[in-house]
Structure formats: C-alpha cells, structure tokens
C-alpha cells in the first residue's frame, strides 16, 4: 500500500509518499527507512530509482518514506534557500514522523541517501541515535565548497555577497548560505562516529562523485562494524541508470538488510531504553515565558537538570557525583508539565549525551505550569578552561 503523507519543519510542509507492506496486520510494527534524495532531485529520483528501491524494500517488509526536502519537488519553500544543514533538519523531522506512525517499530529505523542525500544521511547518522542502519548510494562525502564556487565563478560570488541568488545551471538558483554551510560538516570527519552498520554502494563509472570518494569513506568505517560493507557496481553511473545496475543495487540493498540481525539490534536498543515511571512529574526549563510546550521540546524528570536548561546552556557537564555545571548565561523559568504524560507522548532525545532516561522529546504539545524564576549560581558555571576542554572533546574547536 502506498499513500501520500506530509509533515512540517519550520512551519513549512514536506510532501512524501509512504510505502507500507500489504501483509502488515493492524497490531504489527515493521522496521522503517527514510530515503533522502540528491541535489536538485526529488522523492522519485532519476528514472524513478527511489520508487523502485522503495517498492522492493516494502516487499521485503519495511515501511519506507520517500519525501521532498524543503524547496524541492512538491514541498514548501524555494530551492535557492536550500542548505545542507537545512536538509539534515528535514531528515530529522522525517525520522520523527516515521517514529510516530503506529505501523513503525521506532527502534528499527534506518536511512538511505543518494548523492547529496548521502551527505545528509551520514551527517544525521553521526549525531542521531535513532538511526539503526545506513545505506549510502553515490554519496557526496568529500569537501564540496571549492567545487561549487568554481561552478558559479568569481563574478557570481560577488553577487552572493550582496545577498542575491545566482544561477548554477538549468534554472537552479542558490544563495550565499548554501556555500557558507556546505562544508560546515564534512562526512569524512564524522563517519567514524556512526555506530550503526553502513552499506556504501557506488558505481565505478560515476562522473559526478568519483569512486575514490567511496573508497576513502569505506576506509574510515570498515573497521567500526563487522557489517560495514562497500559494494562497487561495475560500469555503474551516478544514479545506476541501466536496468541491470538498478536491479543489482536493489538486490545488494535487500540482501545486506536481511544480513542484519534486526532482532538483536532491537534487543540491544531495549536494553539501553530505560524504564520510566510515568506517574512521576515531568519538568522543562526555558528562558522564555510559556503556557504551552510545543511538540519537539525537551522534558525531563530531573528537576535540577530542567533548571539548568532554563539558562540556555550550550555545554552541560554532569560529574560522577551528580554535580551539574554549565555555560548558560540567562535567568529563566522552571515549568512542570500540567497534564498526564503517556509513553506515546515522548521519545528518547536523539542527541542526548547524558545517561539514558535523562532527556526526552515531546511528540505533541503539552500544557505547562510555571514553578518559578531561576537564577544562575556562580559555583555551577564552567570555567573558561573547562569550556575549552569540552569544546576540544566535542571537536568544535
């Protein structure tokens, strides 16, 4: 069964197609995959490549979502406003949408990315622990800014500085933020952080992203997981245009997914998913005055942690004895969730660096009551030396 779907990001609507296995019973949940199209691509991709992949995966028992990033295909927005970080944000919302579906096992969600979509998939998988398996087709893993700047030329770069959009080719326009953020995160630098198994598929006749890019990417990840694999399609171009190449990619993809022990992945995930007493109160901290906490916000059952979050920190450190220090600089407000919270109302925070069960993300709007105003205590502020240490540890300096 296929059906049109939509979800939102930054108040813009993203349009997609959901493939659901026909034999899935009403009380059954299936593993799921989100597909990320390439630069100037769309949810069907060239020669309906994504449609063929999605149908095969659906037949193999997966729920599959293929959708248009904002500014592409049928989705809201303009292509000239496209950036890679923006598409990573769209990809995060795609996972959130999938995990909210009754027919999806939210502990078994993976991603597929083609070309620039592969760049998006690798960045997302390096920071979002909801991603349990990764498939990269002809992925753009190398630095790109210099290449794209060369494509537009020096005269157009001057136009970008003045805030204008410039033509790339065939009617596609881009603005300065695209170029400024293109290499903000280069996959080569973060692929070693991907814990999920990875399949890289690349054609040796790819004229858009050379095979050497895939070979270097595989060198980075080959020893991280015994399921990590590189498959080279002999004679394959960037989008595997020949029918026999498309069929080869489909077979390799399905066979690799079948080689994964999804039950073991799920069991491991359950072991790290803490049990929560939903009768206990939930808290949220913010520098803003609120009456309703919007869907996608962070909540916790640790009141002190919520107070710290009210100061809008960028770095939070929790010592072994439970002492919390941070770099927040704002006074704020501490809130208690003012209605019942059920298991379906929250999911584990995908980017949490704290112990399991500390941070959760809301899946719907929730009413809140203000407990009081919060103030920063001097003893809880990280020193400049501590901030520098944590930045080095996180690779941001």
For the stretch 154-175, pLDDT in tens is 888 888 888 899 998 778 999 9
Whether residue 340 sits in one domain with residue 390: yes
Whether residue 341 sits in one domain with residue 311: yes
- What's the order of all strands across the beta sheet hosting 332-337? 283-286, 332-337, 366-374, 292-293
Q: Give the side-chain half-sphere CA count within 13 A for 181.
A: 15
* Mean pLDDT in residue range 227-235: 97
- Say yes or no to pLDDT of 272 above 80: no
Q: Is residue 165 part of a domain?
A: no
Q: Per the structure, how many domains does the chain have?
A: 2
**pLDDT above 90 coverage of the chain, percent:** 67
Whether residue 253 sits in one domain with residue 122: yes
Query: For residue range 40-77, what is the model confidence (pLDDT) as tens digits?
Result: 999 999 999 999 999 999 999 999 999 999 999 999 99
Lowest-confidence segment of 29-33, 142-146, 214-218, 383-387 by average pLDDT: 383-387
Whether residue 365 sits in one domain with residue 342: yes
Query: For residue range 137-155, what is the model confidence (pLDDT) as tens digits?
Result: 999 999 999 999 888 888 8
Whether residue 258 sits in one domain with residue 232: yes
Averaged confidence pLDDT in the chain: 91
Query: For residue range 289-335, what is the model confidence (pLDDT) as tens digits?
Result: 999 999 889 999 989 899 999 999 988 887 766 788 888 888 999 99
Whether residue 127 sits in one domain with residue 99: yes
The DSSP code sequence of 161-214 is HTT--EEEETTEEE-HHHHHHTTSS-HHHHGGG--S-EEEEEETT-SSS-HHHH
pLDDT for res 371? 94
* pTM, two decimal places: 0.76
Q: Which has the higher per-residue pLDDT, 361 or 356? A: 361
Whether residue 342 sits in one domain with residue 379: yes
Most confident range (mean pLDDT) of 1-5, 95-99, 259-263 is 1-5
Q: Which has the higher per-residue pLDDT, 363 or 69? A: 69
Q: Is residue 155 part of a domain?
A: no
Q: Is residue 172 part of a domain?
A: no
Q: Is residue 152 part of a domain?
A: no
Whether residue 304 sits in one domain with residue 253: no
Among residues 245, 271, 297, which one ends one of the domains? Answer: 271
Among residues 241, 271, 301, which one ends one of the domains? Answer: 271
* Alpha carbon distance 41, 397 (integer Å): 34
Whether residue 322 sits in one domain with residue 244: no
Q: Is residue 388 part of a domain?
A: yes
Whether residue 138 sits in one domain with residue 103: yes
Q: Is residue 148 part of a domain?
A: no
Return the structure tokens found at 283: 């808290």
Among residues 218, 237, 271, which one ends one of the domains? Answer: 271
Whether residue 305 sits in one domain with residue 239: no
- Say yes or no to pLDDT of 267 above 90: no
pLDDT for res 189? 94
* Alpha carbon distance 206, 11 (integer Å): 37
Q: Which helix (H) or strand (E) holds 2?
A: strand 2-9
Structural domain boundaries, residue 351:
283-394
Q: Which has the higher per-residue pLDDT, 317 or 237? A: 237
Q: Is residue 264 part of a domain?
A: yes
CATH of the domain at 205: 3.40.50.1820
Whether residue 28 sits in one domain with residue 114: yes
Strand 366-374 and strand 292-293: the pairing is antiparallel
């Amino acid at each position: 069964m296929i059906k049109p779907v939509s979800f939102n990001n930054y108040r813009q609507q993203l349009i997609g197609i959901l493939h659901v296995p026909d034999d899935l019973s009403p009380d059954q949940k299936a593993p799921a995959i989100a597909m990320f199209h390439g630069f100037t691509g769309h949810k069907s991709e060239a020669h309906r490549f994504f449609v063929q992949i999605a149908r095969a995966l659906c037949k193999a028992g997966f729920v599959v979502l293929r959708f248009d990033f904002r500014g592409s295909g049928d989705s809201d927005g303009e292509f000239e406003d496209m950036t890679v970080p923006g598409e990573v944000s769209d990809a995060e919302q795609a996972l959130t949408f999938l995990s909210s579906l009754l027919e999806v096992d939210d502990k078994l969600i993976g991603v597929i990315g083609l070309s620039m979509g592969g760049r998006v998939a690798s960045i997302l998988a390096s920071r979002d622990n909801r991603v349990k398996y990764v498939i990269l087709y002809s992925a753009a893993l190398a630095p790109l800014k210099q290449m794209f700047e060369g494509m537009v030329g020096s005269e157009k770069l001057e136009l970008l500085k003045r805030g204008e959009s410039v033509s790339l080719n065939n009617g596609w326009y881009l603005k300065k933020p695209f170029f400024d953020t293109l290499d903000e995160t280069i996959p080569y630098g973060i692929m070693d952080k991907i814990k999920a198994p990875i399949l890289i598929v690349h054609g040796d006749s790819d004229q858009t992203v050379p095979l050497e890019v895939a070979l270097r990417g595989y060198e980075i990840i080959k020893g991280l997981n015994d399921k990590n694999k590189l498959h080279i399609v002999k004679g394959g171009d960037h989008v595997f245009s020949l029918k026999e190449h498309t069929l080869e990619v489909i077979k390799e993809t399905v066979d690799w997914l079948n080689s994964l022990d999804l039950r073991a992945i799920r069991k491991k995930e359950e072991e790290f998913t803490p049990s929560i007493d939903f009768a206990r109160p939930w808290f949220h901290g913010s520098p803003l005055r609120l009456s309703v906490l919007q869907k996608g916000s962070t909540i916790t059952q640790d009141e002190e942690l919520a107070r710290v979050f009210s100061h809008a920190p960028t770095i939070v450190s929790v010592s072994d004895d439970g002492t919390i220090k941070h770099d927040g600089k704002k006074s704020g407000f501490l809130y208690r969730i003012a209605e019942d919270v059920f298991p379906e109302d929250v999911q584990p925070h995908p980017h949490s660096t704290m112990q399991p069960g500390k941070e959760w993300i809301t899946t719907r709007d929730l009413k809140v009551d203000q407990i009081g105003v919060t103030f920063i205590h001097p003893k809880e502020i990280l020193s400049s030396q501590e901030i520098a240490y944590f930045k080095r540890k996180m690779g941001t300096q």
